[in-house]
Structure 1
Amino acid sequence: MLIRIFYFFMISSALLSITGCTSETSATQEMAQTIMKEDQNSDIFILESILYKKVETINKEQLRSIQTAPYGSITSSYEKKNTFQSGMASILPTGTQIYRSIAQPEHVYSNDRGTYTLYKSVPEG
């Protein structure tokens, strides 16, 4: 019986070390951290593991001329001490709706209380 308990703990320890109880950051998160270190006023967010950066503010008519689909929403705000996570934004408030362009999937648009902004995905590397 003692041998079984010993083996159980050995296997459990091995599995925990293999699956990793680490807090490594992805390349996308590292890019976001770098951008924020270079310019704390950067307007960026991560959604579905893709980093987006503000290109320009647009008006309602411009947004209406683009075919979009709902893409998600901002779920948390970036704080300097934290690591960027998916759903987190540096400027956009929590709850802001994000829409993806059908013709150009690298372009997404935010609707923050009637202010519309174009963001473009930031390629890794």
Structure 2
Amino acid sequence: MVTKVIYFFLLSTVTIFSIVGCTAETSATQEVAQTLMKEDNNSDIFLIESILYKKVKTVNETEFKSVNTTSYGQISMNYNKNKKFQSGMASVLPIGTKLYRSVENPEYVYSSEERGYTMYKSVPEG
């Protein structure tokens, strides 16, 4: 009986560590972000809700207001070389930058900053 309990405990422990270990691995999206930053450390990218976005262009207020958008969160961390890209992290945008997602074209997200608006497009994995 004691042997069965010990085996059950060991099996449970191994299973839990396996699950935790798998979720801690770098996702494909994080790897793409890391690769973009290695290729060009000035890349203007951010990661939110497991989606990577890259700068397309700067837009003026009139163009931004012509797009039907919805609030999409904000930047909560800045990237540095020693960290993995995480949700809410940006390479250029400052912490607190508000993000808006296009309703009609959800692959486009806009940032609202003091200097204006920037359009970003989602980067496909792989």
TM-score normalised according to structure 2 size: 0.90
Q: In structure 1, what is the Cα distance between the partners aligned to 2:10 and 2:25?
A: 24
Alignment match, 1:26: 27
* 1:17 and 2:17 matched: yes
Q: In structure 1, what is the Cα distance between the partners aligned to 2:104 and 2:115?
A: 23
Q: How many residues align?
A: 125
Alignment match, 2:55: 54
How many percent identity over aligned positions? 55
CA shift digits 1:21-68 (9 cap, x unpaired):
253111100000000000000000011111000011111111111111
- Report the residue type matching 2:9 in the other structure: F
Q: In structure 1, what is the Cα distance between the partners aligned to 2:57 and 2:18?
A: 44
Displacement over 6 Å in runs of 4+: none
Alignment match, 2:96: 95
Structure 2 unpaired stretches of 5+? none
Cα offset for 1:70? 0.5
Q: In structure 2, what is the Cα distance between the partners aligned to 1:114 and 1:45?
A: 18
Cα offset for 1:16? 2.4
What secondary structure sits across from 1:10 in the alignment?
helix
What secondary structure sits across from 1:105 in the alignment?
coil
Q: In structure 1, what is the Cα distance between the partners aligned to 2:26 and 2:3?
A: 38
Structure 1 unpaired stretches of 5+? none
Alignment match, 2:75: 74
CA shift digits 1:82-102 (9 cap, x unpaired):
000111000001111100111
Q: Which moved more, 1:37-46 or 1:55-64?
A: 55-64
Q: In structure 2, what is the Cα distance between the partners aligned to 1:25 and 1:80?
A: 15
What secondary structure sits across from 1:11 in the alignment?
helix
- Report the residue type matching 1:52 in the other structure: Y
